[in-house]
Structure 1
Amino acid sequence: MMRNTYLLALLLFAFIANALAGAASSSVLDLTKTADFEATVGKQKGALVEFFAPWCGHCKKLAPTYEELGDAFASKKDSIVIAKVDADANRELGQRFGVRGFPTLMWFKPNSLEPETYDGARDLTNLKKYVEEQSGKRAQNKPAVPSKAVQLDSNNFNSIVKDSNKHVFVEFYAPWCGFCKKVAPVIERVAAAFENEDDCVVAQMDADNAANREFLTANNIEVSGYPTFRTYPKTKKDTPEKFQQTADMDETEAKMIEHINSHCFTHRIVGGGLSDLAGRIPLLDTLASRFYVSDPKKDERKNIVEETKSFVERVSKSTNASDAKNAAAAYYIKVMDKTMDEPSYLERETKRLASLMKKHTEGTSVLVARKYDDLKRRSNILASFAKKEMSEKAREAAEKITKGKDEL
């Protein structure tokens, strides 16, 4: 019995602590109770009060902006109050000040209960400006953190999105969109994951901005809801592919990365790393496997090297080629040449790269992101030489090469 009572006490304490923590985390005072309102408004501090109703769509839309407004004046709590009143729960208080619709914003001067109704725009910029004008106090602006995603507008859209050297993934959003705010951290993580992929761009565009909206309409770019995601591949700028997010943010992030990989021919994983397939070229994998299982004492290995070089030279200038693929192909050849001169090279180089990557992971040595990516790609290619099972596909690959199906 005492144990149950003790557990109930702990649960009650946790509930109260969480409630207090939730209240403390907001810079907007809840003055729904008449006693709280009268103890705060009409005193020595100026107050902006939002009269709202929980079921009101416009109120829900304003809520995150109003929280930001509270944060902007949090350092001025000695002279300014940013507050809210649930006028559906306390209708008497709403009626007292003539509230007829939701949300209604009213400014109460210090020592006055005669409000001025705010009828301006409800974006953060205009709300801050209004409070500053009424109070004579300046809002505290949070320093902007540069986004990893490229920010598009009517001036740079074509130069970035229509660049035939880039695959571009775009989120069209609206600042007031609740789901856009929810997906924003996902976009940041995805943009960070691809920031070192030179021909792959993750971008955002405020499609509700007047100039941007006019540009999209003029160019027949339909954005019917927020957020809208589209991929503009290098060779299909006029027929972008849609991406559909899900309500699960973890699932959306994984699917978004998979989607971008499929267009950019990359192998990024959630968290920004590279998979074990990064840098690998399937047809060259089969040649590497044939090289690995061939007899070093016979001409067979030498012939495979010449076959590989001939193939790479032939396809390096194809439309499907890229700097990254050509660099990877060159590394396959380098490994073959080095191993021809020094049979132990493959094992020694594999151990060397593994050691460098381990030191980076453990923090004893720090590598820049691009350098670590390069080590990972090279390690993956080295691993392809040791995959004996790949040799079973060697004949098929050789036949494809002979028939002229030259693709990296």
Structure 2
Amino acid sequence: MSLNHAEFIVTGFEEMSIAEKAFLGSLMKADYLLKDTVVQPEQLASTRHQELMRRMVEWNREGKNIDFTTLPDLENFGGMSYLAELLSFADLERFEGMEKLILDSWKEREKRNILSVAAHNDWEIAKVIAELDRINQSKVDDHTSLQQALLTIYEAPWEEQTILQAATTGINKLDEMTGGFQEGEVTIIAARPSMGKTDVMLHFAKMSGWAGYLPLIFSLEMPEKLITKRLIASTGGFNRSKMRDPKRLLSENQKNNWANVIGHLNETHIQIFDGSGQTVAEMRAKTRKMMNQYPNKKPILFIDYLTLIQPGQIYGGNSHQQVTEISKSLKTMAKDFKCPVICLAQLNRSVESRADKRPMMSDIRESGSVEQDADVILFLYREAYYDKESQDNTLDIIVSKNRNGSVGYISVNYNKYTGEIVE
């Protein structure tokens, strides 16, 4: 009995039971989904389903094919007849929907549990809010397409505002040096805050989108609306400060060019995911969903930024182990999806204490694993960042590591007011 061929009038527990059966049946039918799902065994409502998924995860980690005939305690899981029933519920096309239903139900259970414990132990309200926020961070539905974002901002110049193969980098010399963004490779773009990392990332995203790729932006810090406004400003050459109130601040020429800028950006098919605290597993799930929606486009992932990615484990607060796990997971994701992954990273403050402030590999926070796993490492450096009187708009892109090519640096023009990058 497939969910595609039956209609169910169910509520509450019945609906959740069917969702979990369909979820587990799908995992049995396509065990590769075990690597991509954001659902953890303990988030299932049924203890029998929890234990069954744990067994499947263990087998998958050990590289074994799922074979329930070898289970010594098969009857504890309902026997072969129950496992066959689960398999009959498999529905790969609705897998993401099952995940969302299971996660939403888990969140509600967790919230009720937190409120009960908080009332019993007389928690302070700040602690209650923090715990509820932690639960809400697990989400797969924070997606906004740039097309949708542009549609909502299209009328802004005329509205009152209340006081968003290898892939080319769009920079010829950088393409010559690195070969562009290669599938299966991880590129790290590292710099001090306000050096221009996000603007460089958005430039790369636009250029790859116009070249036919599907850019997926995982913005863990900046909301979608700011990303959209930055894309419009850099594409149209608009001063970013004017984006606060386009109707009042844009010139008539800029307003006349607005529709052209929107139309040109729309062709990139950029997708924006702005949920905070995303894990690599969540990014994988969202990437697979986009690949199914755009089967003729190869994805290219942009992540802002490394240390804001939520690790799968806490490691007792050991940041080095957390970054090591994330770094390896990014490389695995790039290889599994055969796509480029570009991730921003912050530099340590130690660079500020040196006479020569050009960044080095050791300046990357928790640099060991990042240096090892990344295929390309780019540093950004602007002399004008340290000399506030300077009128120099040069931005140096330093290729510090290039697994398949040469190292060196190239210079581009960077307009810090619009975010525009020009060769």
TM-score tier by shorter-chain length is: under 0.3
Give TM-score scaled by structure 2 length: 0.26
| Higher relative contact order (Cα pairs below 8 Å, separated by 6+ residues) | 2
Larger radius of gyration: 1
Give TM-score scaled by structure 1 length: 0.27
